[in-house]
Amino acid sequence: MRYETPLPLVKIGLRLCMYLLLTLGLTASLARADEPRLVIADAQGDWGPLAPWLHRARGPGYVYTSFVFDTLVWKDTQRKIRPLLAREWSSDADWRCHHFTLHGRARWHDGQPLTTADVAFTFEYMQQHPYRFVDLSRVQEVHTQGNRISICLQQPDRLFVQRVAASLPIIPQHIYAQVADPARFTAPEALIGSGPYRVADYNRAQGFYRLVRNEHWHPGQPRYREVVITRLAPQAAAVAMARNEVDVMSISHEYVDLFRNSGAEILQTPSNHPYRLLFNHQQAFASIRLRQGLAHAIDRAQLIQLAFNGHALAARPAYRQQGGLAGLNAYPSDLEQATALLTAGGWQQDADGRWLDAGGNPVELRLIAAPGAERLVQVLARQLTDFGLTLSVRLLQDVPLTRAVQQQQFDLALLSQSHQGDPDRFRTLLTGRHARGDQYLANTRLLELLEQLRYQTDPKQREHTLLQAERLYNADLPSLPLVNPLNFAAQKPGTGAAFTPQGIAMGIPLPLNKLALFAPETAATEAQKAP
C-alpha cells in the first residue's frame, strides 16, 4: 500500500505555520499598537487639572495638558512642523496673514465635531482671557470660510506658525462660550479637548492622573490604552522602573547613576535654561569694567564640576545657547585680567586682598537666587569670597525673588530663564516687560537692533541682526550666562521618549513629545507641507 503523499499533511502544516506566523505578526503589531499602559513618574506629581487655565505654571503642566488638548500644528522630535488639527497651512508673502485648512475629521472628547468656529473662538477668547504660555497680542483679525481659517496680524511675523500655531491649545466653543472666568471653571467639562487622551481620574493629594485613550483621535489610534502620571520619589521610581512598573521619568543629574544601575536608558539634552548672573547695572555695577572684571573672576569649570558634578555645559555668553563663540568674548577665568579691570573700574585691593570701592569702604555685595540653585550659589559665593569680595547670600522663593529683582534690591542675582523658543524673548528679557529681565536700556544701538529684529522677515538678515545684537550684549554684559545645565530622563528601553531639540512647543525641555510617545502607525507616513 502506498502511503498517501504527505502532501496534504505538508500543505496543512504549511498553512498552519502561515496562520501561526500571521497571528504572531498581528499580535506583535497589535502589541505594539495596543499596549496597555504608559506610566510616567513625576517627582512633584500634581500639576493641577489638565486644562489651559488650570494647570500649574511650569513646563510639565503644559506638556501634560498637551496630551488632552491639540493644537493646529505641532513640532515633532526632529523639529519639523507636523499637521495636527490643520492638514495644510500657508502664509502670505508679506507674512502678515496665515491660512490653515482643517481636515475636518477631528472631534471633541464628547463627540462634537471640531470646526473652524472653535478655532476662531479660541483666538478671540484667549485675547480676552490671556493664557500665560502663548502671546496673542499681535492678532488683528480672524476669518473663517468653510474649512479654512485665516489669521491676520498687526505686523508681519514670519515665525507665527512656529510660535503660536504650534503651541496654542484649541478649546471648544460650545463649552467655554458661557464661561466668564476660566481660571475658576473646574467642572469636568473644562477638561474636554481633542487630544489623544482624556482625563478619567485625577487625585490631587496623591499627585495621580489616569488618562484614557481617545479612540477617535484623527491621526489614528494612540499607542497606549491608558497613560498614568503618578508622583514618585526618584529613589522609589528607580526601584519601580527595574520592576517594569514605571516607564519614563525626568530626573535631575544626582540620580543618573541610580537609574543607570537599575537598567534604565538615560537620555540627556542641554536644558537651554542657563543660569545667568544679573548685575545691578544701575547701582553697584554701573561701570562696564566692573562687570567684565567680575566675569573674568569666575571659574566656570569649577562651577560645573562642583555644583553639577560635571553634568552641565558652559553657557554661551549671549542669548542663544547654540552657535559658536565667533565675535563674542568668552570671558575666560583670568584673575589678573579681573584684577586689572576691577582696578580700572575704580576699586582697589587693600593689604589683605579685600576689595574696597571708590570711597575706601569694603565692597559688600548682595547675592540673591532661588533655592533650587543652592549649590551653584555656594560655589559661586566661595569663588568670589576667595577673590576678595564680601558677599551676603539670600535664597528667596519665586515670589520674593521676583519682587527683589524688580525693586533692584540686589547687587548680583542668579536667575534661570528659558533661552529657547520664542526669539523675541531676547528683546523682552533684555529690555524690560519681563518680570525677571535685565531691564538694560543704556545702549541705544542695541535697542534699535532689537526693534528691527521684530519686523525683519529675511532669515539671513535676521541672523545678521541677531548676531550683532548678541555681540553688543556680550560686550556690555548687563548679565552673564554662566552654566547651561543638562536635563536628564530615564526610560525603560523601547518606550520611545525622546527630547525635542529646542524643546517642546515654546521650548519646554522634556522628553514627552506626544507625537513620539503615542505615534500611531499612520501618522508616521503622512506627508507634510512646509510653508
- What part of residues 508-527 is at the interface with other proteins (CB under 8 A)? 508
Per the CB < 8 A criterion, the answer to whether 492 and 247 are in contact is yes
CB of 280 to other proteins, least distance (A): 18
356 binds other proteins (CB under 8 A): no
393 binds other proteins (CB under 8 A): yes
Decide whether 46 or 411 has the Cβ nearer to other proteins: 46
- Interface with other proteins (CB under 8 A), residue from 173, 250, 416, 502: 416
Cβ neighbours of 110 (radius 10 Å):
11
Could you list the beta-strand ranges (E) of 232-294.
Answer: 248-251, 265-270, 275-279
**Footprint of other proteins on 107-136 (CB under 8 A):** 130, 132-135
- Interface with other proteins (CB under 8 A), residue from 402, 408, 456, 468: 402
**Footprint of other proteins on 450-509 (CB under 8 A):** 506-508
Decide whether 107 or 129 has the Cβ nearer to other proteins: 129
CB of 201 to other proteins, least distance (A): 7
- Interface with other proteins (CB under 8 A), residue from 105, 382, 445, 454: 382
Total chain residues near other proteins (CB under 8 A): 80
375 binds other proteins (CB under 8 A): yes
* Grid cell locating 178: 458661557
Nearest by Cα to 428 from 420, 417, 418, 439: 439
54 binds other proteins (CB under 8 A): yes
Distance of CA 11 to the CA centre of its chain: 59
Nearest by Cα to 411 from 359, 448, 477, 366: 366
DSSP state of 227: E
400 binds other proteins (CB under 8 A): yes
The span of 18-26, 50-58, 75-83, 355-363 binding other proteins (CB under 8 A) equals 50-58
Q: What residues are paired with 368 via a beta bridge?
A: 394, 413
* Grid cell locating 85: 488639527
Query: Positive or negative CA dihedral for 328, 331, 332, 336?
Result: positive
Decide whether 329 or 409 has the Cβ nearer to other proteins: 409
Decide whether 255 or 347 has the Cβ nearer to other proteins: 255
Decide whether 55 or 87 has the Cβ nearer to other proteins: 55
The CA angle 167-173-174, to the nearest 5 degrees, is 145
311 binds other proteins (CB under 8 A): no
Longest dimension (CA), the chain: 121
Decide whether 53 or 121 has the Cβ nearer to other proteins: 53
The upper half-sphere exposure of residue 114, i.e. CA atoms within 13 Å in the direction of its Cβ, equals 31
CB of 220 to other proteins, least distance (A): 26
Per the CB < 8 A criterion, the answer to whether 200 and 9 are in contact is no
CA separation for the pair 232, 43 (Å, rounded) = 5
**Footprint of other proteins on 203-242 (CB under 8 A):** 203-208, 210, 228, 230-236, 238, 240
Per the CB < 8 A criterion, the answer to whether 87 and 100 are in contact is no
Decide whether 37 or 80 has the Cβ nearer to other proteins: 37
Give the contact letters, 133-172, x = binds to other proteins (CB under 8 A), - = no: xxx-------------------------------------
Provide the 3-class DSSP secondary structure of residue 413.
strand
Give the contact letters, 72-111, x = binds to other proteins (CB under 8 A), - = no: ----------------------------------------
CA separation for the pair 62, 436 (Å, rounded) = 21
Per the CB < 8 A criterion, the answer to whether 247 and 40 are in contact is yes
**Footprint of other proteins on 182-201 (CB under 8 A):** 183-184, 186, 201
CA separation for the pair 434, 132 (Å, rounded) = 13
* Grid cell locating 215: 479612540
306 binds other proteins (CB under 8 A): yes
**Footprint of other proteins on 231-290 (CB under 8 A):** 231-236, 238, 240, 245-246, 254-255, 258, 273
49 binds other proteins (CB under 8 A): yes
305 binds other proteins (CB under 8 A): yes
* Grid cell locating 123: 483666538
